[in-house]
Amino acid sequence: MTSILTLSDVNSYYEKSHILFGVSLEIKEGEVVVLLGRNGVGKTTTLKTIMGLVPKITGKILFKDSTDLLKIPPHKRAKLGIGYVPDHGGIFPNLTVYQNMKLSIKQSKSKSESTQIFELEDVFDLFPQLEHMINRLAGTLSGGERRMLGIARGLLLNPDLLIIDEPSEGLAPNIVQDIVEIINKIRSSGVSVLVADQNLPFVEKIADRVYVIDKGEIKLSGKLSELSREELEMFLTF
Amino acid sequence: MKNESLALILLIFLSLLIPLTENKYLLYLSLKIWILILYAIAFNVIFGYSGLLSFGHALFFSGSAYVLAILAVKAEYPLPIGFIAGIAAAAAFSIGVGFLSLRHREIHFAMITLAFSMMFWGIVMKWRDVTGGEDGIAGVPRGMPIFWFYYFSVAIILLCAYIIYRFVRSDIGLILEGIRENETRVKFSGHSTLKYRLYAMIVSGTFTGVAGSLWAMLDRTVTPSISHWSFSAMPVIATLIGGPQSFLGPAVGTVIYVIAQDVITKYTLYWQFILGIVIVSVVLFFRGGVMGIFERFLWKR
Amino acid sequence: MAEMTRRDFIKYAAALGIGLAVGGGIGYSLKKPEVQVVKESASVVGEKIKETIKIGHIAIFSGPFSTYGELQKRGSLLAVEEINKEGGILGSKVEIIYRDSAAKPAEAVKQVRSLVESEGCDFIIGIDSSGVVLGVAEVMPEVNKLLFVTHAATHKLTEELVYKKGIKEVFRIAVPVYQDGIMAAFIASQLPATKWACVHPDYEYGYASWELFKKTLSKLRPDVEFVGEAWAKIGTTDFTPLISSVMEKKPDGIHTVEWGVDLFTFVRQAKQTGLFDAVKYDGGYAWINPMGYSIDAMEALATEYPENCWVSGRYLWVYPDTPLNRKFVKAHLDKWGHFPAYSGETSYTAVYLIKKLIELTKTLDIDTHIKTLEDMVVFSPAGARYIRKEDHQAMYEVPYGQIKHDPNYSIPVLTNLQAVPAEEYYRYPPFEEMPPYKELYKKIVTKA
Amino acid sequence: MDLNTIAFQLILGIASAMLYWIVSSGLTFTFGVTRVLNFAHGAFYMLGAYFTLSFFALTQNYLLALFLGAIIVALIGAGCERGLISLIYGLPVPFQLILTFGLVLLFDDLVRIFWGSVPKMMPAQFIGSINVFGRLLPVFSLYLILAGIAIALVLYFLLSKTDWGVEIRAITVDPETAMCSGLNPAFLYATAFMFGSFLAGLGGGLYLPISSASPGMGEHIIIYAFIVTVIGGLGSIKGAFVSALIIGIIESLGALFVPWMTIALPYIALSAVLLLRPEGIFGEE
Amino acid sequence: MNSLILETQNLTKSFTGFTAVNNVSLSFKPQSITAIIGPNGAGKTTFVNLCTGMFKPDSGRIIFNGEDITNFSPEKRVQLGISRTFQIVNIFPKLTVMQNVKIPLLSKGRIEELENILGIFQLGEKKDVPASELSHGDQKILEMAMAMATKPKILFLDEPMAGVNPAERSRIVNLIKDLRYEEKLTIIIVEHDMDVVFRIAQRITVMNRGSVIADGTPDEIRNNATVKEIYLRGVEV
């Protein structure tokens, strides 16, 4: 398996504050990798670092073992094949559901290169409820629907790597279950996924491997089943 | 710091010699610069120190000039009464405008100050019996020969500049700087930001009024062109050229702006073209203003 | 011209005499467009009084009204080039320096000082707007140079500053604003219209013109009413709401002192809103526009300006039909490809006046100059100019006429010219009293 | 004074509001996307008039000249955005105002250099008038109202139906997510500025048939455009439309009822709105 | 004499779409240290914002020392003795450290305390340095110094460890502990760093989705199954 994304010794800063301390991680082709950790430990910063949304970054970020992302602006990273669904949903509330999706389709990576091609119909298969509301303003959707739309938008970019920030946050259990299924379907389509989350039962259902992050550093990594449950809980609770 | 003050004292001293050269144009131009320096420094109390862009300072400037001219020319009161009444009027205007505008920020503050000053301009244009309309009021007395008027004005301007300096270096000034930097923090430090902004507005407006009165006496004429918004833009440009973050920045900017404009108009009727390039370059390349450059390269090893 | 005073008669006759003499072919005079003086015979021989005689010319050279600087420059530069080609003034070269007033009094005052005190100019000419000229006039005694005003028209300049306040350094060789009001009223009084309205620019010139018009016309014609007024801000792009609000008052005569760009816009829109039709009478339109025949308006609007409107223009290239004027118009056309504007003529005349002044007095002494200028009669392209001693206003005839489209010319011509003889003019010093309008009215002469 | 008079005056007010609308729509649109308040917008208006004039001289086709003129202005606008204004994104408003004020001075003199100081006119277009309420309504006023409505519709269509418009709205509301969806901010900001300049140029050309082109003509319009934009709410296109109508109608009725104070009416309206609703009619705080 | 320094009664605040703080009634004893914890979006910061006057609540009351301060402006609350720091450093970056501290001191006319405060927070040596040049940890400490300069009776610390190096954290922890003893202060702290929370808090309040779901001593909270559940899965309770 080749690796889709490799971070080596990455440090990130906002102005004076140093957030990530030498983070290294790797996502291989077709894997679902989860970044586990409590609030405020640097999960979102790691994802933003990958997208190029953090003002100062040192270290190395390699995409598909070949492209160094560090000097590439965010929109080009998206076009290279990295989809990003931020924790606030990643939708445009002033646009309709359809316009939201169309935006991604137009920017989607050229189809010949993609492992799996997501078209509108494929997305409606995954998210049947969206089909009925394509003309609604995205801002009027419920939290769960927004989350679905956000993921749908990410998929329509036809990425090789889809990054989702806190997909289970604030959602009802049945919707979380839907998201589990969706992520598993995405995996089976061959797209790699990087998820940041702290909801252990949810993560257990989706993760191939996890990285546990605390105070800006990777503390543990490996298959969830191989990690000590006690240590995990320590990092996730108190 | 010491070199700075020495240079300043030397410059002031040199400018005091100007009337002795008997070059009348030099005298006139440098007095004009002195007055505009006071205008810019006073303006910068609200702009540089409080972080509010006023686009209506022409109101305070011309308000005081008009009151002086109306009292001294039309009502034939003694000049000192007109002078003091003019400044008092500017203070009153600044309180009124301050009350109505200080809730606003940024561009909205700029626009509401613009609106008030342009309403005043409308009154000046229309209330011809009193203001002389477009023609303005000519024949404002100076009360003394221009030679002595120069020293009189410079003395007043230096005194005003010193008072403004003490104001911005005072605790109130510090709080104002705090408001400019981070208004929320000032509120959570237990201060009413509105109150301090109003202080700043009054100081700024009143001393702008002093400059306006001196201007009326120097030019001996008051016309609506000093009420127009374009006259409010003058200290903005000068301050940005000189650097709004230092006390002397607006003064340096005024000197540069007026002299540059004077020199350019001597050589070409397309002076706006050159001045436009100068202004664009200042914003693109010298963002901290001239004083910013000094601080970066000269006074900090 | 029946009831001329004796003094006036002598003056006029003398002027006429010299004018004829010049026209008759004494030496150099025929070749040059010339200003002449009645007091002494002209002499061109003399010692050089200065290496270069410097004239500072201040006008608006930037912004929306920069056209006024341009029109003036065409006149003064033409004059300077002609003079230098002919050997200068008493052998001295003439240099002219142009500066921008930016339409701001303070800026103009600064430029006056810069020109006199820093460049060493001997004379200042120019100045476009009334606010600016009042400011500049105040400093002329201080800089101790003569100012020849070539455009700004406010009567306050000559009546308040020169006459009452005694600022003797200022002379105006352009038409004062009261012509736009008073002569307009003389014309209006002959028309059948009885309900007048105005569309004026919203500043001093508009207010003053309207007041004079109303005052004069109501004296001549007690039966008229003034029914409506509209004030247009400078730079108005859409006059239709203003026109419509005036038409609502059902006027049958319109007085407008709109000028420049705003006039172009106004005329175009007035045509389409039917304002001209509303003021039509047998002989044309009861439409009086003192600035309508200014050259920028005529070149821009040309045949779009309806025929038979009553217009004037502070100087008309068609009047007077003298060799001097014909020659000036031709020289101007040759050099610039345009007919001369009124401010071009005044600027041209100002430069020649300076030349004549120095040649007569052979000095740069201000007091001598002032004394010479007072009561001088100057022959210029615009005809004889009588410089009035009391207020330093140069009086000359500028007729009103009706627009006539003439295929022989690129711009319309004027017919039915009417003018008050220059030596009578509109107002007499000491100005406190109302001028004898009814008397004056009788003196209007109809020109061919 | 009867109702017909007022109705007719209203129509004229709406017609003259259309110029304010067209020019401010570009200003407020540009601001909404780039957060830059462009003083030079008035200069683009002036350039629009001059280029329309020159293209008319070449083609003798007014509508074609109008379109070509606006295109050239759009390109100039894009050049200014890429070369100058993009360098000051995120700077405080005073810097933006002063930089673009510098551009105004520069363009004013460039116009004098290339076209001369003397105002220029083109032959009148859309001549004639029709009878409305017993009064003559110039065809030109109708043309203006139609042009204003057409531009409103085009703006609506562009922003809601085209990919570009949707992308512009996306980057306006959430630049970060937009970038992460592959939208190129540099391209969108440049094209938004270009389109705003296009509207300014169009405004300049639209009035040419009954007006004229002169250096510095933008100075008269830009303050009005600022007033309209601020009253409507900075960045709100709907707001610009409504407040342009308000200003146009206030001026038009003002000419009827209070002709002596029309000069101050826009400023009175501005301060009244700001005092009651600081963020403008459709503005968001 | 009221034994409570601060009390909230049925505090509720909604933003478009969701209720950030839902019917929260909490009370705080003088000289206590309470930590408020909970997952993202639990309403912790909104609660602090309501108590300090950043927002007005939709309903409910805030009682400080027996006085209803629900509608008081932030500056008035500071005058009464309620002070705070922010999640993201909130200081005057271009002013010097000394000037930063001086501004809050001025509001109570305690200018003579300047050196003292700089000393307590170990900022004396850096007093003439512009605040923007301090390390992030020092900026956090400076902000606490500024909050303390108004001589508060109650101090809200919103994520004092956010973005701070692990190395600098213990300094801040020690400072907070010192403050409590030396200044007789009531402290309410919102923090994600559980090491810190359990080291300094006497009482922990757990919030989730705008409501208080647990309140007790650190040990009680440590062993509270619901709390653990929430932290691990964030499901409805």
- State yes or no: chains B and A have 3 or more CB pairs below 8 A: no
| Minimal Cβ distance to A169: which of E40, E166, E221 | E40
**Beta-carbon contacts of residue E179 (< 8 Å; ≥ 6 apart):** E144, E148, E155, E185, E187
**Cα–Cα distance, E141 to E171 (Å, whole number):** 9
Q: Which of D160, D174, D181 to mutate to test the interface with A (most CBs of A within 10 A)?
A: D181
Residue D285 confidence (pLDDT): 57
What is the arithmetic mean of pLDDT over E83-92? Answer: 90
Q: What are phi and psi of C281, to 5 degrees?
A: -135, 180
At C15, is the pLDDT very low, low, confident or very high (cuts 50, 70, 90)? Answer: very low
Q: Which domains does chain E have, with CATH numbers?
A: 1-81+154-237 (3.40.50.300), 89-151 (no CATH)
What CA dihedral angle connects A102, A104, A105 and A109, to 10 degrees?
A: 170
The chain B residues in contact with chain E (CB within 8 A) are 171, 174-175, 177-178, 181-182, 184-193, 245
Residue pairs spanning B and D at CB distance below 8 A:
113
Q: Does C63 touch chain D (CB under 8 A)?
A: yes
Residue C433 confidence (pLDDT): 58
Q: Does E186 touch chain B (CB under 8 A)?
A: no
| Minimal Cβ distance to B171: which of E83, E95, E106 | E106
Q: Do C264 and D8 touch (CB under 8 A)?
A: no
Mean pLDDT for all residues in chain E: 85
How far is the alpha carbon of D32 from chain C, nearest alpha carbon, in Å?
27
Q: What are the tokens at C252?
A: 């049958």
How far is the alpha carbon of B299 from chain E, nearest alpha carbon, in Å?
16
Block residue for tokens 């160094």: A68
Share of chain C above pLDDT 70, in %: 85
Q: What are the tokens at C358?
A: 């120095």
Look at phi and psi of residue C429 and say left if phi exceeds 0, alpha if psi is from -120 to 50, else beta.
Answer: beta
| Minimal Cβ distance to C134: which of B221, B226, B269 | B221
Q: Which residue has the higher pLDDT, A152 or B106?
A: A152
**Cα–Cα distance, C344 to C260 (Å, whole number):** 15
Please report, for chain D, how many H helices and E strands are present, in that order. 11, 2
Buried b (16+ CB within 10 A) or exposed e, A199-238: bbebbebbbbbbbbbbbbebbbbeebeebeeeebeebbbb
Mean pLDDT for all residues in chain A: 85
Q: What are the tokens at C151?
A: 């455009």
Q: Does A168 touch chain E (CB under 8 A)?
A: yes
- State yes or no: chains A and C have 3 or more CB pairs below 8 A: no
Which residues on adjacent β-strands are paired with residue E203?
E34
Residues of D in contact with A91 (CB under 8 A): 177
At C447, is the pLDDT very low, low, confident or very high (cuts 50, 70, 90)? Answer: low
At C431, is the pLDDT very low, low, confident or very high (cuts 50, 70, 90)? Answer: low
| Minimal Cβ distance to C131: which of B24, B29, B223 | B223
What CA dihedral angle connects E225, E228, E230 and E236, to 10 degrees?
A: -10
How far is the alpha carbon of A198 from chain E, nearest alpha carbon, in Å?
6
At C448, is the pLDDT very low, low, confident or very high (cuts 50, 70, 90)? Answer: low
Cis (ω within 30 of 0) for the bond into E160? no
Q: How many CB atoms lie within 10 A of CB C140?
A: 20
Residues of B in contact with E150 (CB under 8 A): 189-190
Residues of E in contact with A17 (CB under 8 A): 89, 136, 162-164
DSSP state letters, A10-43? EEEEETTEEEEEEEEEEEETT-EEEEE--TTSSH
pLDDT digits (tens, 9 = 90+) for D261-271: 888 899 999 99
What is the arithmetic mean of pLDDT over B27-36? Answer: 93
**Cα–Cα distance, E204 to C268 (Å, whole number):** 80
Q: Does D180 touch chain A (CB under 8 A)?
A: yes
Residues of D in contact with A156 (CB under 8 A): none
Nearest to C166, CA basis, from C158, C174, C178 = C158
Q: What are phi and psi of E130, to 5 degrees?
A: -60, 140
Which residues on adjacent β-strands are paired with residue C315?
none
Region of poorest pLDDT, from B156-165, B239-248, C8-17, D178-187: C8-17
**Cα–Cα distance, C316 to C310 (Å, whole number):** 13
Nearest to B258, CA basis, from B45, B23, B37 = B37
Report which residue type is found at B53: L
Q: What are phi and psi of D147, to 5 degrees?
A: -60, -45
Q: Which residue has the higher pLDDT, C429 or B214?
A: B214
What is the arithmetic mean of pLDDT over E20-34? Answer: 87
**Cα–Cα distance, E82 to E53 (Å, whole number):** 9
| C380 sits in which H/E element | strand C377-380
Which residues on adjacent β-strands are paired with residue C197?
C228, C254
Query: Helix, strand or coil for residue E23?
Result: strand
Q: What are the tokens at E66?
A: 């027996």
Residues of B in contact with E92 (CB under 8 A): 177-178, 181-182, 185
Share of chain A above pLDDT 90, in %: 17
Residue B290 confidence (pLDDT): 75
Give yes or no for residue C13 having a pLDDT over 50: no
Give yes or no for residue B284 having a pLDDT over 90: no
Region of poorest pLDDT, from A109-118, C50-59, C217-226: A109-118
Residue B154 confidence (pLDDT): 95
Is residue E14 within 8 A of residue E60, CB to CB? The reply is no
Residue B8 confidence (pLDDT): 84
Residues of E in contact with B245 (CB under 8 A): 94
Give yes or no for residue D272 having a pLDDT over 60: yes
**Cα–Cα distance, A187 to A31 (Å, whole number):** 7
**Cα–Cα distance, B254 to B161 (Å, whole number):** 14
How far is the alpha carbon of A190 from chain E, nearest alpha carbon, in Å?
27
**Cα–Cα distance, D224 to D247 (Å, whole number):** 9
**Cα–Cα distance, C338 to C302 (Å, whole number):** 13
pLDDT digits (tens, 9 = 90+) for C82-104: 999 998 998 899 999 999 998 88
What is the arithmetic mean of pLDDT over B97-124? Answer: 90
Give yes or no for residue B209 having a pLDDT over 90: yes
Give CA C86 to chain center in angstroms.
Answer: 27
Q: Which domains does chain C have, with CATH numbers?
A: 22-175+320-395 (3.40.50.2300), 182-318+399-442 (3.40.50.2300)
| A163 sits in which H/E element | strand A161-165
Q: What does DSSP assign to residue D137?
A: E
Return the CATH fold of D3-276: ABC transporter involved in vitamin B12 uptake, BtuC (1.10.3470)
Q: Do A233 and E194 touch (CB under 8 A)?
A: no
Region of poorest pLDDT, from A111-120, B143-152, D178-187: A111-120
Count, residues in chain C: 448
Give yes or no for residue E233 having a pLDDT over 80: no
> What does DSSP say about strands E18-24 and E6-15: parallel, antiparallel, or unpaired?
antiparallel
Residues of B in contact with C104 (CB under 8 A): 225
Provide, for chain C, the percentages of residues in helix, strand and coil under a 3-state DSSP scheme, each rounded to the nearest 5. Answer: 45, 20, 35
How far is the alpha carbon of A168 from chain D, nearest alpha carbon, in Å?
19
DSSP state letters, E39-95? STTSSHHHHHHHHHTSS--SEEEEEETTEE-TT--HHHHHHHTEEE--SS--S-TTS
Count, residues in chain A: 238
Contact map slice: C 165-224 vs B, CB within 8 A: 165, 202-205, 207
Q: Do D99 and B104 touch (CB under 8 A)?
A: no
| Minimal Cβ distance to B182: which of E83, E90, E149 | E90
What is the arithmetic mean of pLDDT over C172-178? Answer: 90
Is residue C419 within 8 A of residue C55, CB to CB? The reply is no
E strands, B91-246, in order: 137-138, 221-222
Residue C40 confidence (pLDDT): 40
Q: Do D103 and B276 touch (CB under 8 A)?
A: yes
Give yes or no for residue D53 having a pLDDT over 90: yes
**Cα–Cα distance, C80 to C355 (Å, whole number):** 10
**Cα–Cα distance, E227 to E231 (Å, whole number):** 6
**Beta-carbon contacts of residue C190 (< 8 Å; ≥ 6 apart):** none
Q: Do E92 and B175 touch (CB under 8 A)?
A: no
Is residue C229 within 8 A of residue C200, CB to CB? The reply is yes
Nearest to A152, CA basis, from A108, A112, A190 = A108
Which pTM value belongs to this model?
Answer: 0.90
At A120, is the pLDDT very low, low, confident or very high (cuts 50, 70, 90)? Answer: confident
Q: Which of D46, D91, D100, D106 to mutate to test the interface with B (most CBs of B within 10 A)?
A: D106
Residue C44 confidence (pLDDT): 47
Q: Do D109 and B276 touch (CB under 8 A)?
A: yes
Residue C224 confidence (pLDDT): 94
Give yes or no for residue D57 having a pLDDT over 90: yes
| Minimal Cβ distance to B189: which of E52, E93, E104 | E104
Q: How many CB atoms lie within 10 A of CB D134?
A: 9
Query: Helix, strand or coil for residue C331?
Result: helix
| C285 sits in which H/E element | strand C284-285
Among chain D residues, the shortest Cα distance to B279 is held by: D102
Q: Which residue has the higher pLDDT, C71 or A224?
A: C71
| E106 sits in which H/E element | helix E97-107
Q: Does C110 touch chain B (CB under 8 A)?
A: yes
Give yes or no for residue E182 having a pLDDT over 80: no
Q: Which residue has the higher pLDDT, B214 or C301?
A: B214
Q: Do D182 and A157 touch (CB under 8 A)?
A: yes
> What does DSSP say about strands A192-197 and A161-165: parallel, antiparallel, or unpaired?
parallel
What CA dihedral angle connects C17, C22, C26 and C28, to 10 degrees?
A: 150
Q: What are phi and psi of A192, to 5 degrees?
A: -80, 150
| D135 sits in which H/E element | strand D135-138
**Cα–Cα distance, C236 to B68 (Å, whole number):** 33
Buried b (16+ CB within 10 A) or exposed e, B169-180: eeebbbbbbbbb
pLDDT digits (tens, 9 = 90+) for D180-209: 888 999 999 999 999 999 999 999 999 888
pLDDT digits (tens, 9 = 90+) for E205-227: 988 888 888 888 888 888 888 77
pLDDT digits (tens, 9 = 90+) for C202-256: 888 898 899 989 988 998 889 999 999 999 988 888 899 999 999 989 999 999 9
Q: What does DSSP assign to residue E37?
A: E
Q: Does D267 touch chain B (CB under 8 A)?
A: yes
Residues of E in contact with A15 (CB under 8 A): 136
At B162, is the pLDDT very low, low, confident or very high (cuts 50, 70, 90)? Answer: very high
Residue pairs spanning A and E at CB distance below 8 A:
72
Give yes or no for residue C381 having a pLDDT over 90: yes
Residue B121 confidence (pLDDT): 94
Give yes or no for residue B63 having a pLDDT over 90: yes
Among chain B residues, the shortest Cα distance to D110 is held by: B273
- State yes or no: chains E and D have 3 or more CB pairs below 8 A: no
**Cα–Cα distance, E158 to E145 (Å, whole number):** 14
**Cα–Cα distance, E138 to E146 (Å, whole number):** 12
Give yes or no for residue D74 having a pLDDT over 80: yes
Among chain B residues, the shortest Cα distance to D36 is held by: B107
- State yes or no: chains C and B have 3 or more CB pairs below 8 A: yes
Q: What are the tokens at E208?
A: 């989730």
pLDDT digits (tens, 9 = 90+) for C321-364: 899 999 999 999 999 999 999 999 999 999 999 999 998 888 89
Q: Which chains touch D (3 or more CB pairs under 8 A)?
A: A, B, C
| E15 sits in which H/E element | strand E6-15
pLDDT digits (tens, 9 = 90+) for D110-131: 999 999 988 888 888 888 888 8
Block residue for tokens 């002192």: C257
> Could you write out the three-class secondary structure of C329-360?
HHHHHHHHCCCCCHHHHHHHHHHHHHHHHHHH
Q: Which chains touch B (3 or more CB pairs under 8 A)?
A: C, D, E
